[in-house]
Chain A
Amino acid sequence: MSPIRETDQFFRSIVQTIREALIILTPDLKVRFANDAFYRFFATEPARTLNQLIFNIGRGHWNVPPLHELLEKIQMEKAELKDIEVFQIFEDIGEKTMIINARRLVDQSDPGSELILMAIEDATERRILERERDEAFRSREELIGIVSHEIRNPLTTITTSLDIIRLLLPKTGAPLQIPKMIDNIYTSARRMERITTDLLDMTRIDAGELEIKMEHVPIQELAEEVMGLYEPEARALGIHFYLKRSPLTE
């Protein structure tokens, strides 16, 4: 066996194991070689493919505008293609997203001429999954947005009612514990509000759309609020919680 033939066979046995569809074309776009993955992808077979003009193989799969243009570009401009994504709906094999790479090779059997090697990655399933994931993110964000809005209205009724009670309380001579109870309800309502905001933020983080805003916060108020949230639980566990004011926080 000649060294060229040996190399050729070695090359063929390697490319048959590759999951990506590979095809080698002559300069006039006839199929010199295709691997099994290519035949599977385009639902065709060697007898109907080899030595055929690429535009005629299968059901004219390569005779559609985006692929036709791509092949012309490779042929005329001798261009190399890197990660060109092509989406096409074929009558027989359905919707396909292909990522195409192409480069020119020296023809071992005719060193004066060049061949065209094309690798076609089937990205259909990946793109469908990505689309479904994006849609799921969107509908989850939409749902959380609606829930958040729906919760904000009853929360507004709660907090404004508490504001009114606070304004009226001095006139009523209510027991001393009442203002503390009102504060607790108010804090809990604000906590619920924060949960809805956090939920919205979480969906935005997942979607990579969170906008971070820097703002000044009165640290004393924030610390008091956090303490107010955990103080009842801490007290129940016998933990004493206290807040020490520092001149820096004034």
Chain B
Amino acid sequence: MPCQSILIVEDEASIRENLKMMLELAGYSSIFTANDGKQGLETLKTLPHPCLVLLDQLMPVMNGMEFLEAKRHEDAIAAIPVCIVSGVAQQPTSKNLYEHFLKKPIDLTTLLSFVRLYCGEPNPKEAAS
């Protein structure tokens, strides 16, 4: 089963929209977004075969670390890989809860290499370039 649905959990609307657009332009078609950890958790449970979560750290309602803690206790979604995309300089210490840490402002090539790692090569028909 090809696994290409990606969830972006980010409270800053412009970053959320840009990340979505970048991934779509790169050829990934099934991108979902959430404004905070709580919404992200609810969305993640409903996604068909999610392959990666791009997660901000500082968010209202439920922050990134709270999201990771809650996700860990949900068997159905616990194993979905997470890449933290954060403006916080210090990397979170509980490294077993996430796969990668990307510091903002992110580098597109690095981001796409992580996405490719977990979601496979993008669909060339979808790529805008």
Within 8 Å of chain B (Cβ to Cβ): is A197? yes
Asked whether A184 is an interface residue with its Cβ less than 8 Å from the other chain, the reply is: no
Residue in A closest to B15 when the chains form the complex, CB atoms: A156
User: B28 → chain A, closest Cβ, in Å?
Assistant: 13
**B21 surroundings in chain A (CB, below 8 A):** 164
Query: Pick the contact of A167 from B14, B22, B105, B106 — CB < 8 Å?
Result: B22
Q: Would you call A160 and B87 a contact (CB within 8 A)? A: no
Contact-residue bracket for chain A: 20 to 34
In the assembled complex, B12 has its CB within 8 A of some CB on chain A: yes
Which residues of B25-50 are within 8 A (CB) of A? 25-26
Q: How far is the CA of A145 from the CA of B89 in the complex (A)?
A: 8
CB < 8 Å neighbour of A152 from B19, B105, B129: B105
Give the distance in Å from the alpha carbon of A189 to the alpha carbon of B108 in the complex. Answer: 14
Interface size on B, residues (CB 8 A): 20
Question: Interface code A145-159, partner B: CB below 8 Å = 1, 0 otherwise?
Answer: 100111111011111
Pick from B18, B25, B103, B128: contact of A161, CB under 8 Å:
B18
Instruction: Determine the distance from Cα of A145 to Cα of B88 in the docked complex, in whole angstroms.
Output: 8
In the assembled complex, the Cα of A149 lies from the Cα of B15 at a distance in Å of 14
A145, A155, A156, A167: residue with the most chain B Cβ atoms closer than 10 Å: A156
A45 CB to closest chain B CB, in angstroms?
56
Are A149 and B129 closer than 8 Å at their CB atoms?
Answer: no
> Are A149 and B87 touching (Cβ within 8 A)?
yes
Residues in B with CB closer than 8 Å to A150 are 87
Q: A159-B105, A160-B106, A164-B18 are in contact. Are A153 and B12 (CB under 8 A)?
A: yes
6 residue pairs of the A-B complex, CB under 8 angstroms, read A150-B87, A153-B87, A156-B18, A156-B105, A164-B25, A167-B128
- 5 extra interface residue pairs, beta carbon distance < 8 Å, beyond A156-B105, A159-B106: A148-B89, A150-B87, A151-B87, A156-B15, A157-B14
4 smallest A-B Cβ distances: which pairs? A152-B87, A160-B18, A152-B104, A157-B14
